[in-house]
Chains A and B, each alone.
Chain A
């Protein structure tokens, strides 16, 4: 049995590995190659230079990167604080209501993110759902709430909420009730239970949720375009511009490589410490 298991495991992994080799690994390798090419060439048959990386530093492209990482960090922290109480309730307090929330949150994911963001711009714009009604009903008009940095962070929080909520709820479900009960019986305060029992035992869920939200938010594009009106240029936007309008593939590739390197380090570091069997399979 043991030997058959080994063979089948490998064989079954092949289809998806082929998909990922052709659609994930190969494109990343090509981007990495392009990033070493001289600027504004469209082939790979040139002697590698690292001009693109120099441009990246000299022409302040790193500022976009810092903006993206900064906004992603703030959004992730906000998401953690917003989702913790709900995730806790879903794992430990609600009964059938957990299923209702899960279904409703998942269904919102099936609506294209740009339809939802477009909905927010209709809600928040001057003459939109909020301002229009506030003016018509209470006579309080105000400027639209769009086109600034906070609204971009708001958009990130909105779009990536499910990616924090579900891993967090899954992580909290892994905390044994006995451990909390024992701590309380021994005289621990609520705060102590949170810090010394809940947070460490839910750590895998916290790690997965935070990593997912941070990584996706750092590479997000639609939020800054649809809500932010490009109040700041995010890194994904710079990459898109380099590949499309300015036709500078090596620069676009170099920007991608830097972003991918940062994300890659975070994800490898984070996932190496998480036991996936425990999170996804629960009891095995």
Chain B
């Protein structure tokens, strides 16, 4: 409202500049991954895909992929369950300490992750637990479960409590209401929370750095190699990690559209 044509154009241009700014470093990584030279300088003279074949042949890289995938899948699954109930407490039910609860949930998000990772390391040590990928799952959950809760809560706000009451009036038990009314209504939120949880865990670095022990995730390995012992595989593995996220997003969109199409057809 009120914005003139030229002002609007300037704002669109600004939006495009910001997006370009966000993605420019990934362009550099992409180019670096297909440079043939062992010591990278721009402009790139010869291109080659040999670093990709060596990445796929490398057992270390495959092990890193497996660890990252395992952590992300478990974190996503637990976040969906915990976030579902958390969102009901956050947005649906009017209970005594709701407003306090809403703020407590936010605390881990408003917290520097590197410090959280180190605190968890000390805590696991005090408990006598030797860190490995399972402790990283716990670390990721502390940060990701609250985010999943918020995502599902957004959906839960638009929830009409009358639907639950109608089910109750018709004699449904609490368990039936939860399973047959609440859960399906919140399902889109739960699925996107799971997707977010997976992707955030897959890309997380500051928490993994201190909590995976002898195991290592993709972002951790990249960091270690950048800080000391650079290899030309670094940009390649970086691109593979990004490609992994993109693939998941593409699959999610495809399923989403398939479901929409199917339900539109049946209706």
Enumerate chain A interface residues (CB-CB to B < 8 A). 1-2, 5-17, 19-20, 22-24, 26-28, 30-31, 34, 42, 44, 82, 85-86, 88-90, 92-94, 97, 101, 104-105, 107-123, 127-129, 131-133, 136-137, 158, 161, 177, 180-181, 184, 211-212, 215-216, 218-222, 225-226, 236, 239-240, 243, 249, 252-253, 256, 259-260, 263, 267, 271-272, 276-277, 280-282, 284
Contacts and interface: CB of A to CB of B under 8 A. Distances in A.
Given A30-B122, A101-B15, A101-B19, A15 B82 contact: yes
A129 B31 contact: yes
Given A8-B95, A9-B88, A111-B203, 5 more contacts: A8-B93, A9-B92, A114-B223, A226-B226, A236-B115
A59 to B, nearest CB: 19
Contacts of B146: 16, 20
A222 B85 contact: no
Interface in B1-52: 1-3, 8, 11-12, 14-15, 18-19, 21-29, 31-32, 40-43
A225 B223 CA distance: 10
B136 to A, nearest CB: 11
B120 A256 contact: no
Interface in B193-241: 199-200, 202-206, 210, 218-219, 222-223, 226-227, 234-235, 238, 241
Contact of B14 (A85, A112, A158): A85
A104 B22 contact: yes
A12 B25 contact: no
Contacts of A9: 88-89, 92-96, 98
B12 A97 contact: yes
B22 A10 contact: no
Given A19-B145, A271-B106, A114 B219 contact: yes
B111 A27 contact: no
A93 B245 CA distance: 31
Given A16-B105, A111-B242, A219-B111, A281 B24 contact: no
Contacts of A119: 24-29, 238
Contacts of A253: 122
B103 interface: yes
A101 B20 CA distance: 11
A113 B120 CA distance: 21
Given A259-B112, A280-B154, A132 B43 contact: yes
Contacts, number: 302
18 contacts: A11-B85, A15-B82, A16-B149, A85-B11, A93-B3, A94-B11, A114-B219, A119-B27, A128-B41, A129-B42, A137-B43, A158-B21, A180-B1, A181-B1, A216-B110, A219-B111, A220-B114, A263-B112
Contact of B122 (A5, A7, A93, A249): A249
B203 A177 contact: no
A276 B149 CA distance: 13
